[in-house]
Amino acid sequence: MSIVFDTTKFKIRGYLDELCAYAGKDSDWADELWMEFLNDEALYEEFIYYLEHHTFLDKMNIGGYSLSDLFVWMMDKYNLLSEIGKNPVSCNKETMVLNAFKTMAEMKRDPERYIKLIESGRGNDML
C-alpha cells in the first residue's frame, strides 16, 4: 500500500511566505492570512489564480466589489506619484495585493463597514 501526499498547500504556503517577506509582512501577518485562505475556499482559489496569472480572478464579489476594486482602493492610500520620489515597501504591488486579500476576508465578515468606507470616498485611511 502506498500513501500519496498532496503537497500543493505546502507550496502555496511557501509562496505566501515569500510574498509576505518581499512585502515586509511578518510571520504573524502571514499566518493570519493563511488561516483566512484555509477557512475560505473562494479566497484560496483567488490566491492560487493570482499566483499563476499575476492578476486577479475577480470571481469573488462582495457588495459589487472584487479584489481588483480593493486593490485600487488600497492604492488610494499610497499614491505612487507622491512627492517623495520613491515608493516604500508599504506601497509595492505585492503589498497592495496582500492587503487586498486580507481586506476581502475582513469584508466578508463585515461588508457594510467596508462598503460604506469605499463609497464614502474616504479611502482606507479610516481602517
Which residue do the cell numbers 495585493 mark? Answer: 97
Which residue do the cell numbers 460604506 mark? Answer: 116
Which residues, 6 or more positions from 116, have their beta carbon under 8 angstroms from its beta carbon?
none
Q: Taking Cα atoms as reference points, which of 38, 43, 53 lies closest to residue 101?
A: 43
Cell reading at 120: 464614502
CA 109 vs CA 15, 70, 115: distances in Å: 25, 15, 12
Per-residue pLDDT of the chain in tens (127 residues, 90 and over written 9): 777 667 899 999 999 999 999 999 999 999 999 999 999 999 999 999 999 999 999 999 999 999 999 999 888 766 544 545 555 555 688 999 999 999 999 999 999 999 998 888 765 554 5
36 near 43, Cβ under 8 Å?
yes
SS3 76: helix
- The pTM of the full predicted model, rounded to 2 decimals, is 0.84
